Amino acid sequence: MSEIDALIFANEAFYRAFADKDIPGLNAIWAEDKSVSCIHPGWNALDDREDIMQSFAQIIGGPAPPQIECHAPKATIHGDTGIVICYEAIGGEVLVATNIFVRGGSTWQMVHHHAGPASSLPLDPEESDPVSIN
Amino acid sequence: MSEIDALIFANEAFYRAFADKDIPGLNAIWAEDKSVSCIHPGWNALDDREDIMQSFAQIIGGPAPPQIECHAPKATIHGDTGIVICYEAIGGEVLVATNIFVRGGSTWQMVHHHAGPASSLPLDPEESDPVSIN
């Protein structure tokens, strides 16, 4: 598997865990020994790992947890850091996300997630195939 | 100057150029030989450097260009990549931004900017001092 494929795979694993409401899965994806941060749409930034895990538990543990699909991920690697830009179809809205991963041994570990409003899913049909669907 | 200070300085330079409507300044801050991407609030992602420069020219060259202040930057370094999370007071709104820089020689070069809505400026008085004001 190429480095880019492994990075896209890590990004997919994040959305799979989110879609599956899998908090232990999310916990395994987020880096444990590095600075982490998370910006949910309309929220201020969280930079405490426990707060971040609680925020996901709150979002996916509510009475009407949102369905989420990841579309059109594009990955870039700078040294030991990987950036994935992708679109999220979530609860009828379209968001765009910046996800940052850092190489940790043989895996990519998430250190940052930022999702905010986008105008629409990308129009390129090749790019709009969902990568992770619940 | 510490590495973190240099990273915060690069982030300040971005907002200074934005506030000063200084397109050549913005052009000098964005990496020239690396993959770059930019997500303005509510826009889809741009990943072509020329499109990104044109987007800034469009935003700051309009009839009522927004005033912008950067607040409460927090910087993290992972290897040769630096992440700055900060708040933007812009046109009466509060946004939160993810800015990513990559080390290029003796400077930090911007490779990604993502701004989206936040709930409010951070409450910590020490964190809410503006770093860059027009």
ipTM: 0.91
pLDDT tens column, B9-33: 999 999 999 999 999 999 999 999 9
- Per-residue confidence at B133, pLDDT binned at 50, 70, 90? very low
Domains and CATH numbers, chain B: 3-133 (3.10.450.50)
Looking at beta carbons, which residues of chain A come within 8 Å of B117?
41-42, 116-117
- Which has the closest alpha carbon to A89: A53, A115, A126? A115
Residue B134 has a pLDDT of 27
Residue B131 has a pLDDT of 41
Partner residue facing A79 (CB), from B79, B83, B112: B79
Beta pairing, strands A37-39 & B130-133: unpaired
pLDDT at B132 over 80: no
Which chain A residue shows the shortest CA-CA distance from B85?
Answer: A45
CA–CA separation, B17 and B12 (whole Å): 9
CB B19 within 8 A of CB B132: yes
Residue A35 has a pLDDT of 97
State the CB neighbour count (10 A cutoff) for residue B64: 6
Along the 134 residues of chain A, how does pLDDT read in single tens digits? 899 999 999 999 999 999 999 999 999 999 999 999 999 999 999 999 999 999 999 999 888 888 999 999 999 999 999 999 999 999 889 999 999 999 988 899 999 999 999 999 997 645 544 443 22
Handedness of CA B42, B56, A72, A110 (dihedral sign): negative
pLDDT tens column, B51-110: 999 999 999 988 888 899 999 999 999 999 999 999 999 988 999 999 999 998 889 999
Tokens standing for B111? 């490779």
- Per-residue confidence at B124, pLDDT binned at 50, 70, 90? low
CB A29 within 8 A of CB A17: yes
Tokens standing for A33? 């020994």
CB A36 within 8 A of CB A47: yes
Residue B102 has a pLDDT of 98
- Taking one residue from A and the other from B, the number of pairs with CB-CB distance under 8 angstroms is 110
Query: Hey, is the C-beta of B71 within 8 angstroms of any chain A C-beta?
Result: no
What letter represents residue B11's amino acid?
N
Task: Please enumerate, as own/partner, the contacts of A30-33 that have beta carbons within 8 Å and a separation of 24 or more.
Answer: A30/A109, A30/A110, A30/A111, A31/A102, A31/A104, A31/A109, A31/A110, A31/A111, A32/A109, A33/A104
Paired strand residues for A48: none
Looking at beta carbons, which residues of chain A come within 8 Å of B98?
39, 98, 100, 112, 114
Q: What is the 3-state secondary structure (H, E, C) of chain B?
A: CCHHHHHHHHHHHHHHHHHCCCHHHHHHHECCCCCCEEECCCCCCECCHHHHHHHHHHHHCCCCCCCEEEEEEEEEEECCEEEEEEEEEECCEEEEEEEEEEEECCEEEEEEEEEEECCCCCCCCCCCCEEEEC
Residue A19 has a pLDDT of 95
Residue B49 has a pLDDT of 98
Looking at beta carbons, which residues of chain A come within 8 Å of B122?
44
Please identify among residues 36-55 of chain B the ones whose CB lies closer than 8 Å to any CB of chain A. 37, 39, 41-45, 47
What does the buried/exposed string (b/e) look like for A75-104 if buried means 16 or more CB atoms within 10 Å of the residue's CB?
bbbbeebbbbbbbbbbeeebbbbbbbbbbe
Work out the minimum CA distance from B47 to partner chain A, whole angstroms: 10
Tokens standing for B3? 């590495």
For A77-112, give the DSSP string: EETTEEEEEEEEEETTEEEEEEEEEEEETTEEEEEE
Looking at beta carbons, which residues of chain B come within 8 Å of A120?
44
Query: Which percentage of chain B shows pLDDT scores above 90?
Result: 81
Residue A66 has a pLDDT of 85
